């Protein structure tokens, strides 16, 4: 897998799978009303379908293409269950759908040149958890306006997951620093010469700064929740989602261009 199409495909599948997985976990608590999960299911379905189309265009693995198709179909079922089933059914189908997305990432990892499949798969899975947790935190923060009786501990629990996922994604990138910082990015930044023949090191430093900043913002959101300022926490989650998204696209760009 190479090129911009592969970067887009990987990030979209990470995002949708992680978002569904974190949503399934929170639905299992049986305290958040169904409307939240219906919105989540619609959003994740759109991203999963786009990710499936992008992966099928970029992948050289028939197995990955089959799995991503199954993931997209499972996302449709997940949306239907949110309207026709129970919270328990939604949590189970959501978890199964997230596993299908994770399996797609694991298989796709084997098509990324220059990477050990296990290391690449771990990178993608922790990235999915990272994007999924932050997205769920932002979405749930908004939902408090629609469900005033919802207790702050629900968002606090997702925020703890966001912190853990951010740390895991950061550690994953540091563990692969040789590959990521050594990525061939000739022609990046309007074709200007970079550090030697590549901007790889510079881009890796930018990614690291974004990860630290995202972690600090999520810590701030956690503090806002502790003082019951849910909408302040939601505002911080907006920032965290923006920086997390940029960081994830950047690190996947380095990943597919690693030597």
Q: What is the pLDDT averaged over residues 142-156?
A: 94
Q: 59 pLDDT band (50/70/90 cuts)?
A: low
Average model confidence (pLDDT) across the chain = 91
Q: Kindly report the three-state secondary structure assignment for every residue of 174-219.
A: HHCHHHHHCCCCCCCCCCCCCECCECHHHHHHHHHHHHHHHHHHHH
Q: What is the pLDDT averaged over residues 5-31?
A: 95
> How many percent of the chain have pLDDT more than 90?
76
- Is residue 201 within 8 Å of 185, Cβ to Cβ? no
Q: What is the pLDDT averaged over residues 127-139?
A: 96
Please check the confidence at residue 30 and state whether its pLDDT lies above 90: yes
For residues 170 and 7, give the distance between their C-alpha atoms in angstroms, rounded to a whole number: 18
Q: What is the pLDDT averaged over residues 66-94?
A: 95
What pLDDT, in 10s, does the model give residues 200-235? 788 899 999 999 999 999 999 999 999 999 999 999
Compare 7 and 188 and report the one with higher pLDDT: 7
For residues 30 and 91, give the distance between their C-alpha atoms in angstroms, rounded to a whole number: 9
Q: What is the pLDDT of residue 195?
A: 47
Q: What is the pLDDT averaged over residues 58-69?
A: 82
Helix 62-84 and helix 87-109: axis angle, to 10°? 170
Q: What is the pLDDT of residue 257?
A: 85
Burial class (CB in 10 A: 0-12, 13-18, 19+), 99: middle
> How far is C-alpha 37 from the geometric centre of its chain's CA atoms?
17
Half-sphere exposure of 173 (CA within 13 A, CB side): 29
Please check the confidence at residue 244 and state whether its pLDDT lies above 80: yes
DSSP assignment letter at 61:
-
Q: What is the pLDDT of residue 64?
A: 84
What pLDDT, in 10s, does the model give residues 107-128? 999 888 888 899 999 999 999 9
Please check the confidence at residue 193 and state whether its pLDDT lies above 70: no
Q: What is the pLDDT of residue 199?
A: 72
Compare 92 and 113 and report the one with higher pLDDT: 92
Nearest by Cα to 250 from 217, 218, 210: 210
Q: What is the pLDDT averaged over residues 53-63?
A: 81
> How many percent of the chain have pLDDT more than 70?
93
**pTM for the full predicted model:** 0.91
């Amino acid at each position: 897998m190479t090129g911009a199409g592969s970067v887009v495909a990987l990030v979209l599948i990470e995002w949708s799978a992680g978002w569904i997985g974190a949503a399934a976990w929170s639905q299992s608590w049986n305290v958040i009303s169904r409307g939240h999960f219906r919105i989540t299911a619609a959003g994740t379905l759109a991203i999963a379908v786009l990710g499936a189309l992008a992966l099928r265009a970029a992948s050289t693995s028939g197995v990955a293409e089959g799995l991503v198709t199954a993931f997209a179909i499972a996302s449709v079922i997940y949306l239907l269950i949110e309207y026709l089933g129970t919270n328990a059914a939604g949590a189970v189908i959501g978890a199964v759908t997230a596993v299908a997305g994770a399996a797609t990432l694991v298989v796709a990892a084997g098509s990324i040149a220059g990477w050990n499949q296990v290391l690449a798969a771990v990178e993608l899975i922790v990235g999915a958890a990272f994007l999924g947790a932050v997205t769920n935190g932002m979405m749930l923060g908004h939902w408090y306006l629609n469900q005033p009786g919802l207790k702050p501990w629900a968002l606090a629990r997702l925020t703890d997951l966001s912190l853990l996922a951010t740390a895991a994604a950061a550690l994953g990138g540091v563990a692969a620093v040789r590959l990521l910082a050594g990525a061939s990015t000739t022609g990046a930044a309007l074709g200007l010469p970079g550090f030697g023949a590549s901007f790889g090191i510079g881009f890796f430093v930018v990614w690291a700064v974004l990860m630290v900043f995202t972690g600090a913002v999520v810590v701030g959101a956690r503090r806002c929740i502790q003082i019951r300022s849910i909408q302040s926490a939601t505002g911080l989650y907006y920032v965290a989602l923006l920086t997390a998204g940029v960081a994830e696209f950047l690190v996947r760009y380095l990943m597919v261009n690693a030597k």
